Chains A and B, each alone.
Chain A
């Protein structure tokens, strides 16, 4: 079974600084997708970034980028120039490739942004 582990329950970052959230996963598959979701205090979850395992290039979305290390099964999220609006729970997630496959979520990292 696939598992997703986020070992940092909470992190903090100064406004305008850079922070990296860690995620590791376990799978025997070679093709899959990885995601980072953001859940602000308002509760509505947002898909932040998506990475396809067969692509070596790391995905980026504006100030959000990932460091995807397939061999190490590591998928970290880097937030550059942190803003107060980045304060949220961040969930790492995994999905197998092909057809409708369920998404497995990690337990989340709560990010605090300090003004």
Chain B
């Protein structure tokens, strides 16, 4: 089915390692975003993109990088993993004119040891 695809679903890293969380959507949505979900805190915006080649920081961007070379893909990179980045990560997308996230991926549960 069409939608937002995130990989991997689970990942364990050691402190200091780097990795990339993949996100792809096949709905030709302009807007894509990354959130993290921590217990008792709701979702917090990490980075977002309003189109290919355009990205911007959300409320908790430190320690993360993004790029948007195509409309379909929006990977999230952890530069040097820290235990504070243990969380569930969600990628989301929406079409032009409706900025709030409409479609979410299944999430990536990331543990940093």
Q: Could you tell me which A residues sit within 8 Å of B by CB distance?
A: 4, 33, 35, 42-47, 50, 91, 93, 95, 99-103, 105-108
| B residues less than 8 Å from A44 (CB atoms) | 104-107
- Among B36-44, B62-70, B73-81, the stretch that binds chain A is B36-44
The answer, among A46, A103, A107, for a CB contact under 8 Å with B100, is: A103
Determine whether the beta carbon of A95 is less than 8 Å from that of B106: no
Determine whether the beta carbon of B102 is less than 8 Å from that of A47: yes
The 8 nearest A-B residue pairs measured at CB: A105-B42, A45-B104, A105-B43, A43-B107, A107-B42, A102-B45, A100-B99, A103-B100
CA distance A42 to B99 in the complex (A): 24
Number of interface residues of B (CB under 8 A): 22
CA distance A76 to B56 in the complex (A): 32
Chain A residue with the shortest CB-CB distance to B45: A102
Determine whether the beta carbon of B48 is less than 8 Å from that of A43: no
Determine whether the beta carbon of B90 is less than 8 Å from that of A45: yes
| A residues less than 8 Å from B58 (CB atoms) | 102
Determine whether the beta carbon of A102 is less than 8 Å from that of B48: yes
| A residues less than 8 Å from B31 (CB atoms) | 100
Question: Shortest beta-carbon distance, B35 to chain A, in Å?
Answer: 8
Chain A residue with the shortest CB-CB distance to B49: A100
Question: Shortest beta-carbon distance, A64 to chain B, in Å?
Answer: 16
Determine whether the beta carbon of B100 is less than 8 Å from that of A95: yes
Chain A residue with the shortest CB-CB distance to B92: A45
Question: Knowing A91-B43, A107-B40 touch, does A47 contact B105 (C-beta < 8 A)?
Answer: no
- Which of B48, B58, B101 has the most chain A CB within a 10 Å cutoff? B101
| B residues less than 8 Å from A99 (CB atoms) | 99
User: Can you add 8 more A-B contacts, CB < 8 Å, to A45-B90, A102-B58?
Assistant: A43-B106, A47-B102, A91-B43, A95-B100, A102-B45, A103-B45, A105-B42, A107-B41
| B residues less than 8 Å from A93 (CB atoms) | 100
Chain B residue with the shortest CB-CB distance to A46: B104
